[in-house]
Amino acid sequence: MEILKVTDPEFRRYGKVIEDVDFSELCKALNEKTPLPEGVDYVPGLEALESLPVMQELSIKTYGEMPIQIGYCNGHNKMLNALEYHRDSEINVAATDAILMLGKQEDITPDFTYDTANVKAFLLPAGCGVEVYATTLHYAPCGVDGAGFKVAIVLPKGTNLPLDAKHEGGVEDKHLTAKNKWLLGHPEGVNEGDPLGLVGENLSL
């Protein structure tokens, strides 16, 4: 699978590199105060990250004064497994090199399937932050050459928290698995009961 860089023009369809925010303190805290598990751990919000000045800066500059949360997705991963999207952009800040496998929401079919052959992979280098647009499909990052990864995840406050009710409405509604999180899983990559939707190969790096 070809791996492009987030500085490649192709990435502009999926997001943009954030150039006017200093992420050095956030990366330092991520490296020093968060674990690196053998699997993949996601934490929606962590006080050690949210207490940094960058929290307010991102809330004002990127989210137009909306309340936000800063958590992390750390671990070891080389598989696609699923894709998800939110109604808002997500900011990813890499404390280590990481690879993002991305797709476009517009390529989801009316019956809510998505062909993994459309996925593109991009290298997010350590110290770099990107805005992943709301219409971009994404999931857990991957490590580079088998190494672990640490990536800060910034989203509107409340995103990815447990739902208040069961959703069994229309086609899209059945894919809502957490607050502001719609999921399309691969049969080989998700837990029993999770909504499916990915067709084709469960991509591996």
- Arithmetic mean of pLDDT, 17-45: 97
Tokens at 204, concatenated: 């591996």
Helix (H) or strand (E) holding 102: strand 98-104
Task: Give the model's pLDDT for residue 4.
Answer: 98
**Percent of the chain having pLDDT more than 70?**
100
pLDDT digit string, tens, across residues 47-72: 999 999 999 999 999 999 999 999 99
The answer on pLDDT for 110 being more than 90 is: yes
Q: Under DSSP, is residue 50 helix (H, G, I), strand (E, B) or coil?
A: helix
The answer on pLDDT for 140 being more than 90 is: yes
Mean pLDDT of the chain: 96
pLDDT band with cut points at 50, 70 and 90 for residue 1: confident
- Arithmetic mean of pLDDT, 153-181: 93
Task: Give the model's pLDDT for residue 166.
Answer: 84
Q: In what order do the strands lie in the sheet with 40-43?
A: 15-17, 129-132, 90-94, 149-156, 68-75, 40-43
Return the domain boundaries, the chain. Answer: 3-78+90-159
69 CB-near residues (< 8 Å, 6+ apart): 44, 45, 50, 154, 155, 156, 157, 158, 159
CATH of 3-78+90-159, picked from 1.10.150, 2.70.98, 2.60.40, 2.60.120, is 2.60.120
The answer on pLDDT for 170 being more than 90 is: no
**Reported pTM:** 0.96
Task: Give the model's pLDDT for residue 193.
Answer: 85
